[in-house]
Each structure stands twice: as C-alpha cells, then as structure tokens.
Structure 1
C-alpha cells in the first residue's frame, strides 16, 4: 500500500488492517472504511462488520475469534478478540524449495582455533557448577575487567576481548539423574566448548549435586592448559578461591597465542534468531527483514537457529511445509506437543505468552505473535530440529526447542554453537549475550528515536516506504558480517552479556 495510507493491509483475505500511526474517529482508512475508534499505532482495525465468534485474519491466517460483534472501523484487540483453537493443515514438505546459491562468496574476518572452529570474539570465560560459586566467579572476573580495575590486568593482552563470569541459579537440590541436571550440564558443556572462548575456568563449591567431575565425564570434557577447574572447599574458602582463579587465568593469558583475524567464508556463521518486546510492527518490518538476511546467509552456506517454541505455536504448520523430511517435521510436532503438555501440568496456557508490552504494542494472541515471529526464519528449507542446547551440526535454517523467554532461549542457542545473535524488538529491549555479540533490530522509527543507544539497525523506514524488506535484509546481512569481524554492537558497548546467561531450569527444585 501507499506509504501515505494510515493503515497497512498485509493480505487480501485479511479482515483487519494495521495502523501506521495513532488513528482518530473519522480517519478514512480504505475506500469504504472509516475509523470509529481511537486506535494506537501498530494496532488492528476491522475492515468489515464481524459477527461474534468469527475468525479474525492477519497475514491471511487466523489469529483468534471475536468475542462480540465488531463493526467496521472498530479497534480489534483484547477487549473483543480471543485465542481460539482450530485445525491446522499439517502438510510436511509441501512448500520445500532450495535457495539459489549466492552469486559470489561473502566473507568475514574470523578467528580460527587450532581445531578449525571459527570464533567471532576472543574471551576467557568463567563458568560455575552451582549458584554457590557465583560470587567467587564474579570476583575473579572483576580482577581483570571490573570497573575499579579499569582493564589494567588485560592491558598487555589487546587480543583478548575480556574475562567474563557466566553464573546461574541452579546446580543443586535437583534429581541427580533427572532431566534438569542433564539440560544444565549440556548447556555448560556447550559454553565450555564454544569457539568464542579462548580459555575457560569452571568453579564449583564442592558438595553440590552438579559435581564438576560428573559434568566433565558426562560431557566428554577434560582439563588442559586452557580448561581448568577447582572447588572452593578444596582451596580454602572464598578469598583463596578468588586468588586461585586469578592465578589460573593469568597462566592462561601467558600461554594463549596472539590471534589474528583472517577472511573466512560466511558459511562459518551460526546465527541465533531472537525477538523480544515484540509489537504490532515486528511481523511487518524487522522480522521479515531479518528473514531476508537469513535467506542470504543460508544461500552462502551459513546456519540460522530459529527458536522460542511457545512463540511459533499457531504458525508451526508454516514451518512444517518447509521441512526437508518427515522425520524433521515430526520432531517439530513432538516439541509442540511437549509444550502443550508442559503447560497443562503447570496450569498454564500457551496463550499466556504475549506480555503486557506485546499487547500495548498491538499484539493480542499468541497466534498473532507467532505468525510474525516465524518470519525471522526467511523462506528456506527447515533442515533439522534440536532440543535445548544440543550442538547444531546442520547448515541452513534449523530449529531449536527453547522457551520464549529471551535470555533462556539465547543461552540455549549459544550453547548449541551460535557465534552471533540477531534480536528484533518493537518495544525496546536491553540485552546482550556474551560470548556472542547480539545485533538489535528495531521495528519502528519511534523506538529508534527514543532508544537508539540500544538498537543497532532501525527497520522503521520499511513502514514509510523508504526501504524495502529486501534492501533492509541486505543491510542486516552486511551488519552480520561486520559484527562477526569485530565491530562492537550497542549491547557490547554497554557491557551487557554476563548477567544474561540463564540456562533453562527444568524439573523439581528439591
């Protein structure tokens, strides 16, 4: 539609349109539609009379049903639209297509490890086996990177991006044979082996359920000059533990080779896709623009990880149509079914997902949110489905089962190998993800105007017709390459990334 129109029609079959700006009664929206309410920007307006119980369509898909009659021109939102269950057409592989290969090879300046892994950053990491060792881990990191140290301890190591402590609240009071401990250990092992860590220290207390020895044995990890471990109880308490950790990292720094970035193909990028603080524009601007960038990445042989299972609920049938095999499609449905049972066990609903901010931004049901969220995955084939924090081996678009909560979801993606995160937001998100850089994509100009200190790319010009989705996708892809080459993102400049390490905590806390 014309950029001068006050609304956006997303599909010919839709019976709602999306407001570009605040609407007031009397605004003409389409040839025969006049606004009858005050309608905030990003919200929905009925384009014809709707009966109670009638399906409402956006993107040509059902997003819920009306709970009362709705006249043409009326605001459609939580007061008159509700979640509805309906039969989805589960056809596996129907829309399967291959993207043409990229016309020329794209590269970025990466760091190659001795074993061939490619890093986008060069950190030393500190992990904890249990919450009880978190204070010691942070004390060790603060010696090198704390605000009072002014980076003096790393002044002679300009090739090191920093020393970061990634702590968590789990590791004990859990079933030693249960799913919760298995997932935690898989997550910690994924970080321990992440390419963006040049060296790693694991700190335990000593009496916890998640024994470091058990973690190492179960996950196939072994100590080396660049992977060290110890327990607080064994070295004499907090002060001695911090001193021990500092000495071990100083030894690592002395032994680490001075790395230099060199051109590597874009096929070595593994990008985690996230959306947080979504609004009514997310599925119109930033998400499809990121999808266009993902198509470029996949055409170059790279990998993109779509996640947040509760936020594809209601749109899973669209992903199934792109699955490369029945096995892949059935595994996706298996994860969807797990989530519906999980919600039932806890007395929750999949439609509890849209947050207060999502709703203020114009999203009403999880169906509506999910249809916009899947656009981040572009149009290529779905190659594989992984459980939380499993190592991602496939190239192309893959799916990882994670919660919709961004820190937990991105933690799983990074554990799986993501060396870059792309994060869309409409309401404004403050987030980072050490050791992998996170690129923020804003959905609208108003967000850019008030919070560009946190947002790397503004996708708002798509709404005004000043940029196309494809043009913005190219800009995002080039930003991916630049960020992977060492350019700092806004969240990195602010120091985000350590507190945002949040492994998925499953199972009973005993």
Structure 2
C-alpha cells in the first residue's frame, strides 16, 4: 500500500454512474463510495443496474465501484482507507471491510496558493475597543489559577458574582458579561524547566492578556512549581489594575483569600462597566474552528458551509484558526499545497511528524481518533474524518502555522497545533487570541467557551429537531436541498458578526464556558 500516492486529481475519473439513486450523494467522480441520505434497505436501488446488498445506516458509505482487497478506497476524490477484503458494488463500507494503510502524500508546497480577493468595503461588527486598541467581543472579569490547589478558592469567588445565584452582585454593572473562574488540574509536580511548564504558562498568559477580559485576578497556592512570579516574568505580563495576583499561603488561608478576592473583584467592576460597543472592521475578528461529534454528513454540510464563511471572513480581513492536528492527519497535503511559503507548509508537516512520534512513544495509534460516536455516524478512519474536517478551513491560502497557545498575529487562514479533543483544542485557540469559536457537530454537542462565545452548527436536520436548544444553526438544510453550501456559509458569516456584536449564543444562554477551560497537559507528572 505504501507505493500509493495521494494528491488532488491523481486518479482518472470513473465512468459516470447511470441513474444513481436520489437517496445517495456522490461527492466526486473519482469516488468509490456514495453517502446514504437516509437508511437504505437491502435490495433498494443504487443505480440503473445495481442494488444495495445490505442495510446502510443514514450517513454511512455504500460502494458504487468494486474495490479489490488491499486497494485504496476513495471519498472526496482522496484516499480514506484500504479494502481489508474485496468490496462489491452495493455493499456497506465501514470498519468491517476498510482500514487504515500507509501511503505517501504529495505535499507540493504552495502549488495551489493564489491571491486572495479582498473586499473593498469590509464588514463591521459592534466590538469593544480596549485602551490599547485591542478589540473584544465580550466583557468579562476573569479569575485564573496557577495551580489546581487554588481552584476551589477561585470558584468560590466567582460564585459570589453569579447572576443566577446572586443577581444583586452585578445588578449595577450591566455591561459586565460576568465573572468567570477558569481552573485546571496542572501547575505542580512537573519539570520546572520543561515543556509542560512552558505550555501551561503560555496558555495562562494568553488568557490573562485576552481582550475579552476587562481585568484578571490570578490566584495561586504559594509553593507550586508554577510560581506566579515566574509566570508573569517569563510571559512578559505586567501587574497592575488589569492584572492582580495573590496566593492562599500569603493571604492567610482559604476564607481570607476568598474574602480578599471578592473585594478585589468588586473594586474592578465600576471600571469594567465603562465600556460601549462601536463599529469595527471584521479584521478584528479571530475565529477558532472546531468540529466535534462528527458524522458522515460533516464533510458535506456544516464543515464546507463553515469553510464558505471562513472564505468570506478572510476576504474581509479577518482570521480563522484551523486546528486539531490529529484530525487533519492524512489530509495535510491539501493544506500544504495552499501554503503561502514552503516554510509555512513545512512547519505543519513537522507537527504531523511530532504527533506520529508522540503516538509511537505512548503506544497509541493516530487512527484511534474516530470516536464511537463518529463511527456510529458513518466515519470509518481518521483519513476520512480529516478530509471532512479540513473543509472548515475554506479555500484561501494557509498563511501561518503556530504551536499550541502561541499568539496569533497573522490575518487570514492559519493553523494551530492542538489535540483533537475539543476543549483542549479550543483552549489553545482562545489563548492564541480567538474571540469567537465556531463548532460543527453531527452527533450533537453541549459545548461553550469563556471568555469567547461559541456557535454550534448541526450537520443534519434530525439533530436540529432533537437538540435545537444547543445548536445555533441547522446546516442540514443543505442535505435537504433547501439551501446551498454558499447560502449557509453566508448565514454563518452574518451570525459570526452578530455574535461578535453581543448577540448571545445558545451555549452562553445555558451558562457553558467555565468547565471547558482545559489546557493541554503534556509531559511527565512526578
């Protein structure tokens, strides 16, 4: 299998399939499989001269061409796996007869890069301009912890200001979106000079300087490895009215620290409330792209629709952060071809190689990424999942590659190296500066993110009907034939602008956001 090379346009188009059943979706003329719009029964129509040979669940794959044992199977015109045994026309294609295999990808750095058409008059949203010129989409006061040991104290302080418990606490401060405690399970028992400490410090610093926080109170225990003084100095942070720090040991215990923290937050509220929204260009919008609970429709509806919105955002000067490195694995060659330089593309490939080595060290397999829900929804291998996932990035150039939680300064489509686990991935994106998250889902998601609002887009109408209270937009209208990918992409772009202007997402209404702060934990715990 390793002598097979995957690149766009590398397979001669198959003969046209006459009379393909309307219950099927064929994405590319080179494909060996079509996708079922609804459950198909044995004996049902496949094409003018073929029938379905077994039950095919909705969103799953059915073979439209015979594939010999050991040969590649293609969807999106790309390799998604290899036949474990001979596959016949009309057969269900899934884990029982298709698996991963090694193959070469042609990275062809930059061959598909092209000038980006920028609009003459950029769109605007109602943003909050900070004194230093940074633009916020929300106005929170944040409580960060240097170590897990101070998490209980931080939560107690934030709970004092919860509008659902103590509505009077923020009654005089309507322009403050809330006080949130972002806690984590790290900060000690790690190498004081190692990568793990660097990573948690970079993540916390990204949140400490995030424009969606009017001010931040950072709380430690006092004896942890991740000393606040070291964090502040190493990350170039500056204490002042917008960044205050304290430790439980120095303050004199739990009760005193909670009381002191509450008073400090109270002293910040009046100034934090003195904000107003004003029209700002869309270039100030940085959107983190996520997909979770993906299914067989993700690469057909929600992901390409979000990609169409990203193309609009980039044309208006904004930035989109594509991430989840294990979920672009096998499709990275589609991004390197769009890289603005060989250096940008090679940085992405270097992160792919890091993940291969990381998984080898941990006796893990990159193909273990499709979850039980992904597989139930029709996704078989990480290759298939990745090809659908990269569609979120649209069609513009890849202008830069970042490591986890690094500050994002480029405008356009960028890549940030993160795990595929959504809370960890989005935490890195927000630390890098994302002031909005867009999250596609096919199985259903109950995710939110603070301090950046999160929008969720469903891939299919049954999901929308079942879980409308958590989903902000139904992209299943594409599958239903009611709207095009481009039309839904425009709707997503307008929803981005409206949410950045202050319109609350459904996850915000439900109060999601504090528990979803999950910095990437890497390295030995001693």
TM-score for both structures, normalised by structure 1: 0.98
In structure 2, what is the equivalent of residue 282 of structure 1?
298
CA distance in 2, matches of 1:255, 1:486: 19
Shift of 1:3: 11
Deviations 1:425-469 (A, max 9, x none): 000011001000000000000100100100000000101211000
- Long gaps (5+) in structure 1: none
In structure 2, what is the equivalent of residue 99 of structure 1?
116
From 296, 302, 319, the counterpart of 2:335: 319
Contact kept, 8 Å, 1:180 with 1:507, in 2: the verdict is yes
1:47 paired to 2:64: yes
Contact kept, 8 Å, 2:20 with 2:48, in 1: the verdict is no
Q: Secondary structure at the match of 1:100?
A: coil
Correspondences of 1:308-457 after superposition (within 5 Å): 308-457=324-473
- Equivalences, count: 509
From 268, 275, 286, the counterpart of 1:270: 286
1:226 paired to 2:226: no
Contact kept, 8 Å, 1:99 with 1:295, in 2: the verdict is no
CA distance in 2, matches of 1:250, 1:214: 27
Higher deviation after alignment, 101-110 or 450-459: 101-110
CA distance in 1, matches of 2:65, 2:30: 12
Shift of 1:103: 4.8
Correspondences of 1:18-97 after superposition (within 5 Å): 18-97=35-114
Mark the CA change 1:306 to 1:411 in structure 2 (over 3 Å): closer, same or farther: same
Contact kept, 8 Å, 1:3 with 1:464, in 2: the verdict is no
CA distance in 1, matches of 2:165, 2:512: 17
- Long gaps (5+) in structure 2: 1-16
Shift of 1:31: 2.2
Contact kept, 8 Å, 1:56 with 1:66, in 2: the verdict is yes
1:155 paired to 2:171: yes
From 497, 511, 517, the counterpart of 1:495: 511
1:114 paired to 2:131: yes
Shift of 1:335: 0.5
Q: Secondary structure at the match of 1:256?
A: helix
Shift of 1:26: 1.5
Shift of 1:396: 0.2
Considering only aligned residues, what root-mean-square deviation do their CA atoms show, in Å?
1.2
In structure 2, what is the equivalent of residue 186 of structure 1?
202
Mark the CA change 1:266 to 1:3 in structure 2 (over 3 Å): closer, same or farther: farther
In structure 2, what is the equivalent of residue 135 of structure 1?
152
Shift of 1:414: 0.1
Contact kept, 8 Å, 2:21 with 2:45, in 1: the verdict is no
CA distance in 2, matches of 1:401, 1:421: 16
From 13, 17, 24, the counterpart of 1:7: 24
Deviations 1:376-414 (A, max 9, x none): 000000000000000000000000000000000000000
Shift of 1:99: 2.6
Contact kept, 8 Å, 2:438 with 2:454, in 1: the verdict is yes
Shift of 1:147: 3.9
In structure 2, what is the equivalent of residue 209 of structure 1?
225
Shift of 1:69: 1.4
CA distance in 1, matches of 2:407, 2:49: 54
From 248, 251, 256, the counterpart of 2:267: 251
Deviations 1:307-342 (A, max 9, x none): 000000000000000000011011111100000000
Shift of 1:55: 0.8
In structure 2, what is the equivalent of residue 240 of structure 1?
256
Mark the CA change 1:69 to 1:172 in structure 2 (over 3 Å): closer, same or farther: same
Contact kept, 8 Å, 1:3 with 1:463, in 2: the verdict is no
